[in-house]
Structure 1
Amino acid sequence: MSEMLIKSLEGHFKDQIKSLKFYCGEVTIEISPADVIEVFKALRDKDEFQFEQLIDLCGIDYLKYGEDEWETEEATGSGFARGREVEEKARELNSPRFAVVYHLLSVTLNQRLRVRVFVNQEDMQIPSVIDIWNGADWFEREAFDLFGILFEGHPDLRRILTDYGFIGHPFRKDFPVIGELEMRFDEEKQQCVYEPVSIEERILVPRVIRRDVEGPKS
């Protein structure tokens, strides 16, 4: 089934697919934002695809992709101090940082497809697919809220998980863990007020206890 899907994708979108991978029984293709509407309409309507359902849409931040900060031996040896270092600036990447990933399902043909689209970090814009799959509505709002990705053509692109007055996008890997604003109820004003956070940032790295290492002798 996957081989037939790959042949159909390569035959129909050979000039629009930037990469195609087959891993763990799943097919993943990468396309550009300019081709989103045309490609997705074909994936939904063409007989060889028939992806009538969008089962998931999510944003991804590749800021630290490929970096391993939780190696067991290092965490055990360094204790808690290592986790108190907080990055203030995003490191330079050789590839785009943010992407939107779509998971498609064809109930008719019993096949799945993952589509990845990198967005330009300068404007963070990508066409909305809500007119192709209505179920994209809240998915796109969530990606906007948590990552700051703007979906052009979405009829109601508002925050969905954070407060309307929230500043920033929590799932960006350079976003401060404690946030930027805090809310409290002011007794004198009898209303909620927003102020800069007063919590001291403290990150703890769990200490790993290895059962295969002999402990200190008493």
Structure 2
Amino acid sequence: MKHSVKIEKALFQVRFKPDLSYYDKLFEHKDLFTAFPHWQTDRMKIMLRDYDKRHSVAIQHDKLTYDTDKYVPKNCDEVIGIIHKNYKQFAKDENFGRLGHRFFMLVPLSIQFEELIHILNLKLFSKDFMSAIDGEPHDSTVTLTSKHDDIDYRLQIGPMKAEEVPKFISYNVENHVDPNSNTKFTEMASLVENHPEVSLYLDLDFFKVMEDEDMFILIRKYPMY
């Protein structure tokens, strides 16, 4: 049986070394400002928001973060494309430290939670491992780290109940739900409560720690968006 994978949340982040010139260029990100209808600043950071698309960008002195709770490839492509095009506005090549693209996913399943755990125990753990522990695990999360070509990734996988989802997926209610909306609380509920009773949880983080690599070349090579 084929199961569908739903991306509940995605994050794209670029980290760089702090530079005092950041404050002088705080409002020079025209392309990003144009892509978002709402913005706010405390002079330390800028928040760009689109409540309808439920995504935002936070520009800070040491990182830029794109956050979406309503994953639509076209929207993600547009914003990360702008960051790609204008990345030199944020830092010099040698000051970039880390590039990451992270996905939080659920695979809804029509089986009992205990059944899912039993299946995962059979698939993920060897007989020798199972025989070395006292009884079958009632719950488990497996973390894998590896590399695809020259980019690293970290994958967490485990069974999930509906009420557990908010503990593992932090929905950005503050920036993705309009505080002035008449349906604010309905929107908040729809964002954090409509989850399958039982699902397989996947947390997949692609990342690259920068050393002497050219940021532009890396982003072009891995257009993960």
**TM class by smaller structure:** under 0.3
Higher helix share: 2
Question: Normalising to structure 2: TM-score of the pair?
Answer: 0.27
Report which structure shows greater RCO (CA 8 Å, sep ≥6).
2
Question: Normalising to structure 1: TM-score of the pair?
Answer: 0.28
Greater Rg by CA: 1
